[in-house]
Amino acid sequence: MQEISSLKGIGKIRSEQFLKKGIKTVSDLLNYYPRDYEDRSNARDIADCISGEDVLIKGIVLTPVKENRIRKNMVLYTMTVGDDTGIISMTWYNNRFVKNGFKMGEEFVFFGKINPKSRKKEMINPLYERVGKEKFMGKIVPVYPLWANMTQKVIQSAMAEAIKLKGDIEEYLPKEVILENGLCSIDEAIENIHFPKSFDDFFKARERLVFEELLFLQLALMYKREENEEIKREPFRDIKCVVEFLDKLPFEMTNAQKRCTKEILLDLKKDKPMNRLIQGDVGSGKTAVAAATMYVAVKNGYQTAIMAPTEILATQHYETFLKFFEKTDIKICLLTGSTKGKKALYEKIASGEIDIIIGTHAIIQDSVSYHNLGLVIADEQHRFGVSQRAKLTNKGEGVHTLIMTATPIPRTLAFILYGDLDISEIDELPPGRKQVLTYAVGEEMRERIDAFIDKNVKLGAQCYVVCPLIEETQSGDIKNATDLSIRLSKKFPQYRVGLIHGKMKASEKDDVMNAFANGEINILVSTTVIEVGVNVPNATMMVIENAERFGLSQLHQLRGRVGRGNEQSYCIMFCQGTSEIMKKRMTIMCKTNDGFVISEEDLKLRGPGDFFGTRQHGLPEMKIANLFKDMKIMKKAKASAEKIISADKALLNQENQGILRKIKEMFDDNIALN
């Protein structure tokens, strides 16, 4: 497909701006879908314009544009426009281009909001086009997500040119699938998703594109699963040895842990590699289940490797598993970027002298060879690329894979996101665990919360304070970590206040987290980098600033950083705004600590968004589908995917070649088909 620079009006500078959004070709641009639409299809008489509405009017310019400087950096440009039913004032703020853009007597089309605060009829910052030269008036107009230095007009104009130049787009779907599901062609869909002639055309276009996106997603995962089914390995001979391990535990597993362990053991008895996801809230006992699995693997003559996303988390796992296996003869090592004496360690791993290797990405380096790797465990897998997981499993033959996550996925969607994995849920907490008491408060409670922090820290507890931003922006109502750490240092000079954020080097973050874990920092101000982090049982307070800016699942993850010890823990959420959705979200957070319930509600209230982004699940982001609202289309797409795969597992038939090409294009080696 042609480069975007081939489009009229797109020069070098604009091309570079589009490239910032990953848009390099005309095809990339066509696949950049609108976030909304403005109905500019029907003009309204001036007399019928209603305050607060966005409307389209056609009128004649009655006065010259008048310039009025009302204060420094604020200039108003106004003129009067009329039709047969009345007159209206047009007002622009700081838009010097309108000054010489109109002549009296000329007829224009205007689109904008009728000012609800004005006594007279007034349109604020209207868009306009001369009658007879309309490009984006008198029709339904797309509204695109913007980024720095980009405008709607530039994208809309480029998109209109792209539609003209696109030619016939290759049809990837088999005719049978299109007919069975009553879908429009890909050509119609692309034209009508950008410039629909009617909203009915838009709905048909969207259904086609959503169906296609969900079909390819499910086909890719089914295709991957079929690939996994072909791999064979020796079953584990002895799984009953798990009883020896369970007898050594200082506690009894919950029923959910027992069920999960049983599901894993049944996998290990099969002649194919296990690919299983354990999902459960923080503190539900995933680590104990992993330890039982590791014990069985070692007793069957295999090495186990567990990969954690950070050095501090890897070290924490190392210390935890040392305790689990202290009454056994199992040998464990820690391998991270800062480990000393790596060469000697590599030799011990290669010879099989070490049974369990715990570490960061260091354990997948080319210099690390395993003696007989049989089990791989990835902790908080959403922090890794799927290709990194694959690189670890490729260190052995037919390796069993276990993935642990404390980010619960709604049950209704787990299969879609992890179609190549079997799923186990640990959906109960160990007895005696206290729920984190959660409260949503306004700014008027600031002094009381400060006093509450003081009271808890004075008693020896520690506190997290989380902000959405690192430094101050123009939006002064949003708390930022840097300023807040300064405020708290002044407020509590008797305590040690620390600061951690994503722009710090990994070693600096580790130093701060270690200091907090060791009790050297009383109050830790942070951005969301502490979502998945170190276990600090002494931290009993979590204060979240601007909680309305976080998704429910993210808030739940943050709350999971406290409540890890025996003391009662608290989560205080400062909120701004009065919208009904915000109130509902905060009510859900205060009422339940169940991550599965929260993730379902999160999806209902805010759609997939980042919740299902590439970073979190190793899957490509949904460009148009909403995994909750499009459940009906999802079911249709799933039925078609199952039918296609059952008839042609490898997608080798002629009618499926387009699908296979599209899947490989969408799901590159870093994502699903590694």
Q: What is the mean pLDDT of residues 622-650?
A: 86
Q: Which of 142-146, 216-220, 238-242, 325-329 has the lowest mean pLDDT?
A: 216-220
User: 382: burial class by Cβ within 10 Å (0-12, 13-18, 19+)?
Assistant: middle
- Name the band, by pLDDT with cuts 50, 70 and 90, for residue 668: low
**What's residue 418's pLDDT?**
65
Fold of 1-38+146-167: DNA polymerase; domain 1 (1.10.150)
**Residue 70 backbone dihedrals phi, psi, to 5 degrees:** -95, -25
**What's residue 224's pLDDT?**
73
**What's residue 416's pLDDT?**
64
User: 56: burial class by Cβ within 10 Å (0-12, 13-18, 19+)?
Assistant: buried
The CA distance from 36 to 143, in Å, is 5
Q: What is the mean pLDDT of residues 186-214?
A: 95
Q: How many residues make up the chain in this entry?
A: 674
Q: What is the mean pLDDT of residues 355-359?
A: 96
- Name the band, by pLDDT with cuts 50, 70 and 90, for residue 616: very low
The CA distance from 277 to 405, in Å, is 8
Amino acid at position 603, single letter: L
The CA distance from 145 to 178, in Å, is 30
Q: What is the pLDDT of the chain when averaged over all its residues?
A: 87
**What's residue 622's pLDDT?**
76
The CA distance from 363 to 377, in Å, is 12
- Name the band, by pLDDT with cuts 50, 70 and 90, for residue 671: very low
User: What residues does each domain of the chain span?
Assistant: 1-38+146-167, 42-138, 242-426, 437-592
**pLDDT tens digit string along 155-173?**
999 999 999 988 888 898 9
**What's residue 157's pLDDT?**
94
- Name the band, by pLDDT with cuts 50, 70 and 90, for residue 664: confident
Q: What is the mean pLDDT of residues 68-85?
A: 93
Check whether 255 has a pLDDT greater than 70: yes
The CA distance from 407 to 554, in Å, is 9
CATH superfamily of 437-592: P-loop containing nucleotide triphosphate hydrolases (3.40.50.300)
**pLDDT tens digit string along 517-555?**
899 999 999 987 665 556 788 999 999 999 988 888 888
**Would strands 140-143 and 107-114 be described as parallel, antiparallel, or unpaired?**
unpaired
- Name the band, by pLDDT with cuts 50, 70 and 90, for residue 672: very low
pTM recorded for the entire structure: 0.67
**Which residue do the tokens 């665990």 mark?**
433
Fold of 42-138: OB fold (Dihydrolipoamide Acetyltransferase, E2P) (2.40.50)
What is the architecture of the domain spanning 242-426? 3-Layer(aba) Sandwich (3.40)
- Judged by DSSP in three states, 544 sits in strand
The CA distance from 279 to 271, in Å, is 24
Check whether 507 has a pLDDT greater than 90: no
Q: Which residues pair with 499 in a beta bridge?
A: 525
Query: Could you tell me which of 142, 136, 141 has the C-alpha nearest to residue 32?
Result: 142
Could you tell me what percent of the chain has a pLDDT over 90? 54
Check whether 473 has a pLDDT greater than 70: no
- Judged by DSSP in three states, 295 sits in helix
Query: Could you tell me which of 378, 392, 390 has the C-alpha nearest to residue 307?
Result: 378
- Name the band, by pLDDT with cuts 50, 70 and 90, for residue 670: very low
Q: Which of 5-9, 353-357, 369-373, 421-425 has the lowest mean pLDDT?
A: 421-425
Q: What is the mean pLDDT of residues 335-343?
A: 88
532 against 427, higher pLDDT: 427
**Would strands 74-83 and 54-61 be described as parallel, antiparallel, or unpaired?**
antiparallel
**What's residue 375's pLDDT?**
96
Asked whether this chain's domains 242-426 and 437-592 adopt the same fold, the reply is yes
Check whether 584 has a pLDDT greater than 80: yes
**Residue 41 backbone dihedrals phi, psi, to 5 degrees:** -85, -25
Highest mean pLDDT among 110-119, 389-398, 463-472: 110-119
Q: Which of 65-79, 467-481, 484-498, 515-529 has the lowest mean pLDDT?
A: 467-481
Check whether 191 has a pLDDT greater than 80: yes
Check whether 108 has a pLDDT greater than 60: yes
Query: Could you tell me which of 70, 74, 112 has the C-alpha nearest to residue 90?
Result: 112
Q: Which of 178-192, 221-235, 295-309, 450-464 has the lowest mean pLDDT?
A: 221-235
In 526-559, which positions are buried (b, 16+ CB within 10 angstroms) versus exposed (e)?
bbbbbbbbbbbebbbbbbbbbbbbbbbbbbbbbb
**What's residue 621's pLDDT?**
67
Q: Which of 74-78, 209-213, 562-566, 599-603 has the lowest mean pLDDT?
A: 599-603
Q: Which residues pair with 109 in a beta bridge?
A: 58, 129
**pLDDT tens digit string along 229-251?**
778 889 999 999 999 999 989 88
**Would strands 54-61 and 303-307 be described as parallel, antiparallel, or unpaired?**
unpaired
